[in-house]
Amino acid sequence: MSDLTDKKLGEFHLLRPLGSGGMAEVYLAEQTSLQRYVAVKVMKPSLMAHSGQDMLLRFKQEAMMAAGLNHPNIVQVYTIGEEQGLHYIAQEFVQGSDLATLLRERGKLDLASILHVMRQVAGALKASGRAGIVHRDIKPENILVTKKGEVKVADFGLAQLGENTQGKDGVTMGTPLYMSPEQVGGKELDPRSDIYSFGVTCYQLLSGEPPFRGATAIQIAMQHLKTAPAPLHEKNPQLPRTLCRLVHRMMAKRRSLRYQSAEEVSEDIKTLIAAQKQGRSLDLVRLPRLEELERLAEQERQRHLRNQSSELPDNGEDGGELPFEAPAAAAGTPPEPAARATDRPRRPEPAPAP
């Protein structure tokens, strides 16, 4: 797609590119009626052209659903439109960076910042889960962070638009680094699928790399189905074990053995943050829901061991929890330093004039 800088799409004057992905290019724009900055995501024409009216309908439906989500940790969708065959979605401009860029630039984030990001993403997923919306593409690129540390999740539901276009010209699908086993298996998704992808994202934030890598998309996808991620605490022994256990539980291959809702995840993250602020060791914190899920997972593991003659299930729906992550030892690590005070969320400042 050629550079659209200075073009007008409806009442949006495109000022400069902000980034691009597989499906679209994103521009900083000025909404002339309200004289405010917005981000305009222009869908690649090939995406729409190849898929015709169906895709257009879905594009509109998804945008409508996403527009219904109003939450401080979710990028607000303002409107959609079409101009000269270009379909676009105008949304809240988040001045800052996405997590993928931050990780590239800074290497690692400190524990307090990671917990702060986790709490806010869980907040976003709480809102979407309640609305019955599955994001489908939770990954560092879709988690935007303002300079004040405010986190906003972008692109709710939009990933679905790319799914039917795999392999078509002009649409390059991302690697399945963050895909849930059920997504890899082409099953129907529910909000727990976002919890898995969120878990994978947390794993990367805490260890510096995603749990599964491979030369091809298939290799990565197969690991989501079959391979237990290396224990987080082995990747980074400094990490509180309780937090490692929490992240591994989000990444359970079987949906029923994961945290069942973002509310549950959020509660446990908040408990850890509170303990950290008090200077208590996170490893001495009891998380009853986590323990209950771990007990369930252990029971399942035992059941599998007893029925070893029967074939191991091959996907994340009916099984595939084996092999398990090593049971994490609870106590013994020194307390983490107290949390750094985090800034209160603020509205993003307008960008400097281009």
Ligand X SMILES: Nc1ncnc2c1ncn2[C@@H]1O[C@H](COP(=O)(O)OP(=O)(O)OP(=O)(O)O)[C@@H](O)[C@H]1O
**Binding-site residue total for ligand X (CB under 6 A)?**
22
Site for ligand X in 98-117 (CB under 6 A): 98
- Point out which span in 44-52, 148-156, 234-242, 316-324 binds Mg ion (CB under 5 A): 148-156
- The CB-of-200 to Mg ion minimum distance in angstroms stands at 16
Judged by beta carbon, residue 75 or residue 134, the one nearer ligand X is: 75
Among residues 93, 178, 196, 198, which is the contact residue for ligand X, using CB under 6 A? 93
DSSP assignment string, 206-227: HHSS-S---SSHHHHHHHHHH-
- Point out which span in 92-100, 210-218, 257-265, 321-329 binds ligand X (CB under 6 A): 92-100
Judged by beta carbon, residue 94 or residue 124, the one nearer ligand X is: 94
Separation of alpha carbons 331 and 110, rounded Å: 22
Q: Which does 24 bind (CB under 5 to 8 A by kind): Mg ion, ligand X, none?
A: ligand X
Q: Residues for the chain: how many in total?
A: 354
Question: Alpha-carbon Rg of the chain, whole angstroms?
Answer: 21
- The CB-of-59 to ligand X minimum distance in angstroms stands at 13
Q: Is the dihedral of CA 309, 312, 318, 321 positive or negative?
A: positive
DSSP assignment string, 50-75: HHHHHHHHHHHHHHHHHHT---TTBP
Among residues 92, 150, 155, 321, which is the contact residue for Mg ion, using CB under 5 A? 155
171 conformational bin, left if phi > 0, alpha if psi -120 to 50, beta if neither: beta
- The CB-of-103 to Mg ion minimum distance in angstroms stands at 15
Separation of alpha carbons 2 and 250, rounded Å: 40
- The CB-of-40 to Mg ion minimum distance in angstroms stands at 13
Kindly list the catalytic residues: 137
- Residues in Cβ contact with 88 at an 8 Å cutoff, skipping those fewer than 6 apart: 9, 10, 12, 40, 41, 42, 43, 80, 81, 82
- The CB-of-283 to ligand X minimum distance in angstroms stands at 35
The binding track of 216-235 with respect to Mg ion, each residue x by CB under 5 A or -, is --------------------
Separation of alpha carbons 74 and 312, rounded Å: 39
Judged by beta carbon, residue 172 or residue 302, the one nearer ligand X is: 172
Judged by beta carbon, residue 100 or residue 230, the one nearer ligand X is: 100
Burial class (CB in 10 A: 0-12, 13-18, 19+), 139: buried
By the rule CB under 6 A, 174 interacts with ligand X:
yes
Among residues 73, 91, 97, 142, which is the contact residue for Mg ion, using CB under 5 A? 142
Binding site for Mg ion (CB under 5 A): 142, 155
